Structure 1
């Protein structure tokens, strides 16, 4: 039980860092992309999806190691025998879809429960990030000068087209 609890903490921290870095890099480079505003929103959604996909695979690797290799827990229903099966279990847990083919047993229940809570929080986080991007770029749709306006130097931006989505830290 202690190993699975410790692994859960490490997995939560690792997936938070992965999504944080994904969103941070997206924010830093979004304004500099030489694409119209609508494609910037698409880039945000794809980046968030990539961050969530990485998080799912991190949990899948943990299931493979902890459940299939070390025997800390199990899955009932359709047998889970490969990394791909673990990825399916992870997607189901992370997205809070619910169990169908595979159900966790023993210590795997703790890991899938933590993953579901983690996925819920991270999906909400990326949804709010997407909202910020849409709030910034959506009004530029349909304007002939949208691309130029998005990359032009604005006094509030400080640097041409490099304004991140998040507000500056207090005291800066």
Structure 2
């Protein structure tokens, strides 16, 4: 349990840093982009999407590695388990979609719960950033920046 808890903590920190850096990078780049203000929103959405995909892949890699140690838990049917199943489960969990067709067992349940909470927070962060960007760009206000 301790190992999985440490992996959860590490992934929480790593995904938060990735997300922060992507949004900070957007704040620095957007004002200088010579494109229409509304097109900048497309840049925001694509960048946030890419950040989320990277974060999902990191969780999938951790799951894929941890499943190799049966004492730490299992993920779905071990006969058909591969990285694709880890990636699917991670995306499903990160977004809180939760079909339930792939179910974690053992200590991996802790990682699944942490990923769902982390995904909820990071998706909310992206949504609030996108809202602020829309408000500023649509109203012709100043570009999104780190400080006002």
TM-score (norm 2): 0.92
| Structure label with greater radius of gyration | 1
Alignment CA distance shift 1:138-1:5 (3 Å) = same
State how 1:26-65 maps to structure 2 within 5 Å: 26-65=26-65
C-alpha RMSD over aligned residues: 1.8
Distance 1:112 1:79, change over 3 A: farther
- Tell me what 2:18 maps to: 18
* C-alpha displacement of 1:100: 2.5
For structure 1, which runs of at least 5 residues remain unmatched after alignment?
Answer: 141-149, 151-156, 158-162
Residues of 2 paired with 1:78 and 1:138: CA distance?
A: 50
Mark the CA change 1:4 to 1:31 in structure 2 (over 3 Å): closer, same or farther: same
1:1-172 to 2 correspondences below 5 Å: 1-67=1-67, 69-71=68-70, 72-76=72-76, 81-140=81-140, 164-168=144-148
More helix by share: 2
Shift of 1:80: 5.2
Cα deviation, residue 65, structure 1? 0.7
- 5+ residue gaps, structure 2, are none
* 8 Å CA contact retained: 2:28, 2:146: no
Alpha-carbon shift at residue 126 of structure 1 (Å): 0.7
Q: Distance in 2 between matches of 1:165 and 1:79?
A: 49
| TM-score of the pair, normalised by structure 1 | 0.80
